[in-house]
Structure 1
Amino acid sequence: MQTASGGGPLAALVTASAAELLAKVARASRDAWPEAAGVAAQAESLRDRAVPLAELAARAYEEALNAVGGDYEVGRKYAEAAEPPLRIAAAAADVAALAAFVAQQCDPALRPDAVVAGLLAAGSARAAAELVAVNLTTATDDERVRRADRLAEEAARTAEEARAARE
């Protein structure tokens, strides 16, 4: 995995790492969990979805920072820079949801790792939602801000479901 520069790329890579951790938990639970291989593949797919978002987020933000021209052009670049964090929030919410499922099904000895994956994904979703809001600061009524917040709230809720599975 590559290194991240900036909050968006880091949120994407944390999301990818959380998905990878879920894949490892699922694979290690396969003796007692018939669906573990399929769940591991799903986690790997989520990881593969998140990794390229790091570069996309970095590039979009760099373009926004370097935008020249009038307010319209600069505003358009910042609006475009909100798209990768929105996609990161969506991927992170999916990872958190998968973490709740894995925590309920996996080998109990590995459950803490599933919980940690969910919490990491929830943190990434919240961070990405914040970046969406910052990039769309002049458009407070933008649906993307509300959607990112909903995704972050959903990720937090499902991460708590993962935590509840350990009790």
Structure 2
Amino acid sequence: MTAPGTDTALAGTAFSVIADAVASETATPGGGAVAGLTATLAAGLVAMVARYSSAVGDFDPDAVAARADELRRDAQQLADDDVSAYQAYLDATKLPRDPDPVARTAAIRAALDAAADVPLALAMVAAEVAELGELVAKDGNTRLRPDGVTAVQLGSAVATSAAALVGENLRARRDDPRPARAAEHAATARAAAARVARLPQATAAEPTPLPHAHP
């Protein structure tokens, strides 16, 4: 796998290959990478709905689509960053206990500390995806409201899982503020999901300005 900040490995991999890798007896890609890829797709849904929508009032679909594209790229990179971060942790656990167990413990602690930053960033990205998804679900093309709602629900799930990963990585560091920050992002995303769940369904009488049929 690639190191954080380089060209992503998962981005150029067929979905079926990724799915097989997740299901295999290998440690990576795991939950963090799957969450990152899920956020990537959720952001893509937001961008798609925005591009099929018209400007209404303060709603600027072009700006929403552009920001969703940025978040999509960020989430995609974070999926690979998670693989690299977890691999660094695994490498640290393989260090010999002797003659210096203290050095091994310090390496593991440092790896977990660094690994917590990836899901924290993902929780923040996913929360914004959820908020943008709510925006397109409310103000965007009504025929694509279910797609916007899907993006919100996926963003909420990703933010919640990412917050759990932050907490797990830092469970030995009770004074670290990052779990609380991740939990705040998750709460933001869940609130958006709760709000879109109350939106009315689009009706068959509403116009469909799409160049193709969409369920």
Give TM-score, length-normalised by structure 2: 0.73
Question: Which of 46, 50, 63 does residue 38 from structure 1 map onto?
Answer: 63
Report the CA distance between 1:164 and its aligned residue.
2.5
Match of 1:144 in 2: 178
* 1: CA distance, partners of 2:55 / 2:136: 14
Match of 1:19 in 2: 43
Report the CA distance between 1:49 and its aligned residue.
1.4
Question: Which of 101, 125, 129 does residue 159 from structure 2 map onto?
Answer: 125
- Is the CA contact 1:88–1:128 (under 8 Å) kept in the aligned structure 2? yes
Aligned partner of residue 137 in structure 1, secondary structure: coil
Q: Give CA-to-partner distance per residue, 1:57-108, whole Å, 9 cap, x none.
A: 1100110111034312211111111110100001000101111111110121
* 2: CA distance, partners of 1:156 / 1:166: 18
- Is the CA contact 2:42–2:129 (under 8 Å) kept in the aligned structure 1? yes
- Please list, as runs of the form range in 1=range in 2, the aligned pairs for 1:9-158 lying within 5 A after superposition: 9-30=33-54, 35-67=60-92, 68=95, 69-158=103-192
Q: Which has the higher helix share?
A: 1
* 2: CA distance, partners of 1:164 / 1:111: 12
Tell which has more relative contact order, 1 or 2 (C-alpha 8 A, sep 6+): 1
Paired residues in the alignment total 167
* 2: CA distance, partners of 1:56 / 1:134: 17
Aligned partner of residue 11 in structure 1, secondary structure: helix
* 1: CA distance, partners of 2:166 / 2:60: 35
**Rg (Cα) greater in structure:** 2
* 2: CA distance, partners of 1:157 / 1:141: 26
TM-align CA RMSD: 1.8
Match of 2:196 in 1: 162
Give TM-score, length-normalised by structure 1: 0.92
* 2: CA distance, partners of 1:141 / 1:92: 25
- Is the CA contact 1:111–1:166 (under 8 Å) kept in the aligned structure 2? no
| Structure 2 gap segments, 5+ residues each | 1-10, 23-28, 96-102, 202-215
